[in-house]
Amino acid sequence: MAIDYQLFMDCVHCGLCLSSCPTYLETGDENDSPRGRIYLWRAVTDGRAELTPEVRHHLDLCLECLGCETACPSGVQYGKIIGSYKKDMTRILPPAPTVNWLQRQMLFHLTPYAGRMRLALAPMRLLQRMGMGGLVRRMGRLLPRSLRLMQDIVPTLAPHYGRLPEVLPAEGKRRARVALFTGCAADAFFPQTNLNTARVLQRNGCEVWIPRTQVCCGALHYHAGLEKQAERFAADNCRAFNKGLHDGLDKVDAIINNAGGCGPVLKEYGHLLEKTPTAGVGAAFASKVRDISEFLVELGPAKPTHALPIKATYHDACGLSHAQKIRQPPRQLLGLIPGLELIPLNEGELCCGAAGAYNITQPEMSHALGQRKAKNILATGAQAVFTGNVGCSLQIIRHLREIKPEMWVAHPVDALWASYSGEMPKGVDWIVAG
């Protein structure tokens, strides 16, 4: 077994985690709660229960959002417990066992590769520019259910920026030297956010380095229990950032990422690589990683000047709020924007149902949670919703599409750049206009 047994014993089954667990709130079944899953997995480990399909179903239904860790007064490391289950399952079952072979190939051999993702989305991007996106979506209903689920996730795609220079100079006096992690799926679905992240950093006096050979953070593989594959991604990134920056990691102030789902894994590289020859570089890499909002607040952000007279709300991505404990920095950045009124979101820290590949591996529960999140967003009366993770943006856009497709769903850095530059993204300028 891949579990440190003492982790089980830390849970006193008090139940304070129940109200923070999205699956328990939906089903009301204790087996779908954190303490229920801990009890099930411990019983299997002890040999008191069989690992039946029903038991696996309850364990597989976990989103790994870590809301329970935030709520737990005993410091139970639930992420490690459910992670041990995922690692053990890869010994007897294929990763993401609830999906078919084609979906598995797309998840693990397409999504984590930025170049492949750009090519795969190119036809959709072209058809959308030709005004045929709606037609393609309607025709998609003829696809097999597995492919239809994946097509439904695709939002309206902005033009890709192409290739950023390896080095972008700071504007004005240089205040910091940073490296930018551009990711894979995030760069394919929302390239404007990477571009705006670089621009915002420059505006704040940062010289921005973008290593050419960087790869996926490894989160999809890591959360599926494929630790060896995740290690390879981590080692490749450590080499890319350490050698690609010429002077090494010690010469940059931070490694910036803008995807809440990537940050927790990037910050785990020291642990992930501790038994490999790259252990030292992994620890150095992890110590430099900062979310864009976290870094800007630490640096002291330049004040934006162009007003965005809109009502907006903010959804806490689980990877930011629970895994990294980053809650206030994104709100602080949004609070700097003149004219922007930030409205509280009910159940703001409750997972939206994206959870990496969860909307593919557990589509029914993901749909229920996505609808719940959309309902709470609409109840605010906001014109825009901001969130710090690509998966959350995709999920929220998908579930608002049929109800309020005109709502602006974006990363806080997109709003910050609009306020710095005075340029509203195409398609949402109507919000400011009236």
Query: Mind listing the domains of the chain with CATH numbers?
Result: 6-89 (1.10.1060.10), 101-153 (no CATH), 167-297 (1.20.1050), 303-433 (3.40.50.11810)
- The percent of residues in the chain predicted with pLDDT above 90, rounded, is 67
Instruction: Place 114 in a pLDDT band, splitting at 50, 70 and 90.
Output: confident
Rounded Cα gap, residues 38 and 109, in angstroms: 31
Instruction: Place 130 in a pLDDT band, splitting at 50, 70 and 90.
Output: confident
- For residue 434, pLDDT beyond 60: no
| pLDDT tens digits, one per residue of 180-208 | 999 998 899 999 999 999 999 999 999 99
| pLDDT tens digits, one per residue of 398-408 | 999 888 988 99
C-beta of residue 147 within 8 angstroms of C-beta of residue 111: no
pLDDT at 103: 83
Per-residue b or e along 285-321, where b marks 16 or more CB atoms closer than 10 Å to that residue's CB: bbebbbbbbbbbbebebbebebebebebbbbbbbbbb
- For residue 356, pLDDT beyond 80: yes
- The percent of residues in the chain predicted with pLDDT above 70, rounded, is 92
pLDDT at 20: 94
- For residue 429, pLDDT beyond 70: no
| pLDDT tens digits, one per residue of 70-106 | 999 999 999 999 999 998 988 888 888 888 888 888 8
- For residue 128, pLDDT beyond 80: no
| pLDDT tens digits, one per residue of 231-269 | 999 999 999 998 755 456 778 999 999 999 999 999 999
pLDDT at 149: 67
Among 120-134, 280-294, 308-322, the minimum mean pLDDT is found in: 120-134
- For residue 57, pLDDT beyond 90: yes
Rounded Cα gap, residues 197 and 258, in angstroms: 7
Q: What is the pTM of this model?
A: 0.92
Question: Which of 319 and 91 is assigned the larger pLDDT?
Answer: 319
- For residue 139, pLDDT beyond 90: no
